[in-house]
Amino acid sequence: MQIPRLHPDTIEEVKLRADIVDVVSEYVVLRKRGKDFVGLCPFHDEKSPSFTVSQTKQMYYCFGCQAGGNAIKFVMELGKRSFADVVLDLARRYQVPVQTLEPEQRQELQRQLSLREQLYEVLASSAQFYQHALRQSQGQQALQYLQSNRQFKEETIQQFGLGYAPAGWETLYRYLVEDKHYPAQILEKAGLIKPRKEGGGYYDVFRDRLMIPIRDVQGRVIAFGGRTLTDEQPKYLNSPETELFSKGETLFALDQAKGGISQLDQAVVVEGYFDAIALHAAGINNAVASLGTALSLEQVRLILRYTESKQLVLNFDADKAGTNAAERAIGEIAELAYKGEVQLKILNLPDGKDADEYLHSHTPEDYGELLKNAPLWLDWQIQQIIQDRDLKQATDFQQVTQQIVKLLKNIANSDTRNYYVSYCAEILSLGDTRLIPLRVENLLTQIAPPPATYSKPVSARKAWGSSKSPLPTPHSPLPTERSLLEHAEALLLRIYLHCPEQRQLIIDELEERDLQFSLSHHRFLWQQILEISSVDGETKNLASSPDLISRLQDQFLEFGSEMGLISHLFHVDEKNQKEILRTPQVVQAAIACMDLVMLEKRYRHFLELWQQTDPEAEPERYQSYYQAFYAEKIKLQQIDRQRLFSITELL
């Protein structure tokens, strides 16, 4: 149905009242930077914030995708909604009286507006009714269950608005329709009553159940979950899909958890209502529940609005049912996790317990420690593959290898995939480090990555074949020189940015070996670092500077195109976290690989000059080039034994 044209006064009043920081914060985690706010752009994928919001100008702008506008346009673009629909929604939110240009259409407009408003109102009244019933004699069993079985305090019961639905077939119906005079059709649309199949009339959907209100992000009741107090099935009964409630787009307790998620930069997802409530009661206020379904992309995107680093922990039981639940909950988000767009972890609690049960016998600090040590989801998947397997047995070894290869093939991000190739090679080597390079090569062969990622380079050593003293050929195919050098340089810069304690080591190694960053975008970043250090006085001062990343990101405004090539280095994903934990070994490996590539370049350069020089016409130059490339050859032979180790570390 077409929405009538809105009066300009209404539009202007909405623009005045709708604060853009308030509106955008519903969807994006914003951080204060100077007089403005910054965050990750919701209109395109990025790993470092380029999205700015100006409260003084009431405007937003993204330096990455050039999206910009006011609060109305932001909601329109994000939700793909019409101008009038967004203005009406904001008008309701900020209590702006709505006027239209056609007076005769005001009644129809009011009807459209009032439907959702009536649903919100009748659901709020229902929640109050259930809370009141919990305190009556008929609700004593439910109240005792909450206090004794669940060990919830009064403040927790009130915080989540827990209640009780009486056992009668028409108790809620009579209260809302006969006493409060709500239309029965509104109750039906809200999912509170159903029409009888015979004889006419309605009956309550929820009867003799402990009631848990389900709220939207703004804290408005949109549905209910009801737990039986008897052996009735189903144990949990949710409201049906309505105008306000979509199970696949809603997360229980998100209204309570969004602040904690933003503050801790991490979201915890549990299965049940009471798990989430118990965590909040214990002071762990970044927990939500998935309403018992596999997580949908919509639910994940809803959570990730509030965490800048996209950290998501799935907390399920450690038993077989819990493992299956974790696999099911991963659902559609596996693709995001494989791409590294979600930092996904899996927490299985010991003894087959859920979060609520665990907190009955353990402290919140115990839970926090388990949360801190929860494995990344790929590590968890690998552990599931090798669990109860004897890798010394040929059959188990073969089956495990096949499953690992299948898992590795799904990893889209080459850096992450290469790291897990090395990790799995260590597992399959059973502690024999001599076998790691062989296992790496075997896995890479089975994964069959694109030639652009792993190909045999044109080796300078083959050119030596025409000379009198041949060089040894490579033991096995290497990554291309470009990919090896780019990965090594990027890794070194990322460690420098995120590990202040390693900065002086990196500076010393580069100076000692006289190494420079070869790729232009890496050289640009290093120059920016050096420029900041010159302002600070000395490079050593910079090595302990805690705000280096923030100061470099400020350069985005001046060098947008250049910084775009290296902005990913400001973010740490699953693989990067693992690498950083292994410094300074990884620093040494990265330096060695940079050194190796540079030696290969110099070797080829002097070899080519030597081959192009006439020994009779220019004997001195001929001899000089020979000595130069021979010296590089000796250096290559000296570090050749480190070659596979360095590449394995970087993979």
pLDDT for 515-550, tens place per residue?
888 777 788 888 888 877 666 554 444 445 557 777
d(CA 488, CA 486): 6
Ramachandran region of residue 91, left (φ > 0), alpha (ψ -120 to 50) or beta?
alpha
Q: Encode pLDDT of 630-644 as tens digits.
A: 777 777 766 654 444
Q: Encode pLDDT of 361-406 as tens digits.
A: 999 999 999 999 999 999 999 999 999 999 999 999 999 999 999 9
Q: In what order do the strands lie in the sheet with 221-228?
A: 163-165, 209-215, 221-228, 236-238
Backbone angles phi, psi at 45, to 5 degrees: -75, 130
d(CA 451, CA 412): 15
10 Å Cβ neighbour count for 415? 20
Q: How confident is residue 501, by pLDDT bands cut at 50, 70 and 90?
A: confident
**Choice among 91-105, 243-257, 338-352, 453-467 with the minimum mean pLDDT:** 453-467
Between 68 and 628, where is the model more confident? Answer: 68
d(CA 487, CA 494): 10
Between 234 and 539, where is the model more confident? Answer: 234
Contact 443, 421 (CB under 8 A): yes
Q: Encode pLDDT of 24-37 as tens digits.
A: 988 888 888 888 89
Contact 598, 518 (CB under 8 A): yes
Q: How confident is residue 46, by pLDDT bands cut at 50, 70 and 90?
A: confident
Angle between helices 254-264 and 273-281 (to 10 degrees): 50
Q: How high is the pLDDT of residue 196?
A: 93
Angle between helices 520-536 and 481-498 (to 10 degrees): 20
- Tokens representing 22 are 């308030």
DSSP 63: T
d(CA 214, CA 478): 55
Q: How high is the pLDDT of residue 347?
A: 92
DSSP 570: G
Q: In the structure, how many helices (H) and strands (E) does the chain have?
A: 31, 15
Q: Encode pLDDT of 296-313 as tens digits.
A: 888 888 888 788 788 999
- Quick check: helix, strand or coil at residue 480? coil
**For range 421-448, the mean pLDDT:** 85
Between 566 and 359, where is the model more confident? Answer: 359
**For range 398-416, the mean pLDDT:** 89
d(CA 114, CA 107): 10
- Identify the H or E element spanning 237: strand 236-238
| Cross-strand partners of 287 | 268
Q: How high is the pLDDT of residue 228?
A: 96
- Tokens representing 118 are 């009536």
Q: How high is the pLDDT of residue 457?
A: 33
**For range 122-144, the mean pLDDT:** 97
DSSP 374: P
**For range 39-57, the mean pLDDT:** 87
d(CA 173, CA 184): 8
Residue 84 reports pLDDT greater than 80? yes
